[in-house]
Amino acid sequence: MSRTSRNTGVRAVAALAISSSLLIGGAALAQAAPQPPVGSLDFGSLDFGSSQQVADAPRLVGIDNFRDVAGTGSGYSGSFGQHVNKGVLYRANAITPKGADMAALESLGLTKVYDLRTAAEIADKPDVLPAGVAYENIPVLAGDIYQMAFQIKSPEEARSLMQDANRAFVTGTAERAGFTQLLTSLAETDGPQVFHCTAGKDRTGWASMLLLSIAGVDRATIMSDYMLTNEYSTESIKATLAYISSVAGPAVATNMEPLLGVEAGYIEAGLDQVESSYGTIDRYLTEGLGLSRSTIATLKAKLLG
């Protein structure tokens, strides 16, 4: 393979790895190579109403990381022994339904979708939504991380990049503004809603962590929920790694692998930054994101039954 061809392949791989995680660059891949495989807070007493049984979120072929923020079964345990309401908020990767997926989405009665991706990511893989579902783009990312990912030379560098990205959810002005807009819109909009990014793991995972924290879900459960991406997206991660290896070789695939899934250390880096910058998730929500107590109380009322 010529040096030019190999550089083109590596650039394509960097774009793929980025678009498969929380980062940007999917459009560059389309130009450079064949298309890859698809893949506890206390806010006072509230009247939450009565809970009801809701079916688990459907497993979707074209949206493999689609799931209910509340979890499965009776929902995660939150404040005052209540369970988080199912069928209210969903999280996902890019909304690209296949086959029976669209009918499954329609059955959920979604009212609005929030897309946390950049313009480049959206152009590469636009959402395909059921008729009548409102759409809002809230890009939660700042800076050109594509070039940083292109320079990754080891798995350790990839992990460091992911940790830095999670810290930026706390320190970055644009990132905080995005999460403020998302949580405010979720509070103000009625009906079942879904928020997503490209892989449904980092930007989406951080937002889900905030919501579960508001609901009073314990840290261990939140971490287990965060790690579920590796289970839900197992096959697409394997396929992506195989594609990277075929384009740029096994060594590059090994270097890029940490970008494709999640590790506890990623979100823990962000949570450590919350503690360093604000002390608690509560203060991050009110001071870092500027959310009012009313908005937080509304979210808690939606989440708990």
In this predicted model, what pLDDT tens digit does every residue of 101-131 receive, in sequence order? 999 999 999 999 999 999 989 999 999 999 9
- Distance, CA of 127 to CA of 115 (rounded, Å): 8
DSSP H/E element including 92: strand 89-92
Structure tokens at 4: 């030019």
Position 54 scores a pLDDT of 80
Q: Label residue 13 by pLDDT band (50, 70, 90).
A: low
Instruction: Round to whole Å and give the CA distance between 40 and 54.
Output: 24
Cβ contact 50:60 at 8 Å: no
Give pLDDT, residue 236: 95
Is position 81 within any domain? yes
CA pseudo-torsion sign 153, 141, 223, 271 = positive
Instruction: Evaluate the CA torsion angle 213, 96, 262, 273 in order and state its sign.
Output: negative
Which ranges of 33-154 would DSSP assign to H, the alpha helix?
Answer: 101-107, 119-124, 145-150
Task: Name the E strands within 258-302.
Answer: none
Residues 6+ positions from 79 with CB-CB distance below 8 Å = 40, 41, 42, 215, 216, 300, 304
Of the pLDDT bands very low, low, confident and very high (cuts 50, 70, 90), residue 201 is very high
Return d(Cα 55, Cα 68) in angstroms, integer. 10
Across 3-40, b (16+ Cβ under 10 Å) vs e yields eeeeebbbbbbbbbbbbbbbbbbbbbbbebbeebeebe
Q: 150 in a domain, yes or no?
A: no
Average pLDDT, the chain: 87
Indicate whether 179 belongs to any domain.
yes
The residues, any chain, with a CB within 8 Å of residue 241's CB and separated by 6 or more, are 253, 256, 257, 260
Instruction: Please give the Cα distance from 46 to 75 (Å, whole number).
Output: 19
Query: What CATH code is carried by the domain that includes residue 215?
Result: 3.90.190.10
Separation between Cα atoms, residue 235 and residue 212, nearest integer Å? 27
| Total domains, the chain | 1
Q: Which domain holds residue 293?
A: 39-142+156-233+263-303
8 A C-beta contact, residue 144 and residue 126 = no
Span 200-229, average pLDDT:
98
Is there a contact between 302 and 189 (Cβ–Cβ < 8 Å)?
no
186 within some domain: yes
Partnered with residue 92 across adjacent β-strands are 196
User: Is residue 14 a part of any domain in this protein?
Assistant: no
Residue 88 forms part of a structural domain = yes
> What is the C-alpha separation between 152 and 25, in angstroms, rounded?
15
pLDDT for 171-198, tens place per residue?
Answer: 999 999 999 999 999 999 999 999 999 9
72 lies in some domain = yes
Distance (Å, rounded) from C-alpha 155 to C-alpha 158? Answer: 5
User: What Å distances lie between residue 193 and 136, 222, 289, CA to CA?
Assistant: 11, 20, 21
The answer, yes or no, to whether residue 45 has pLDDT greater than 60, is no
Say if residue 2's pLDDT is above 70: no
Residue 133 covered by a domain: yes
Percentages (nearest 5) of helix, strand, coil residues in the chain: 55, 5, 40
Least Cα distance to 138 among 158, 166, 122, 118 occurs for 118
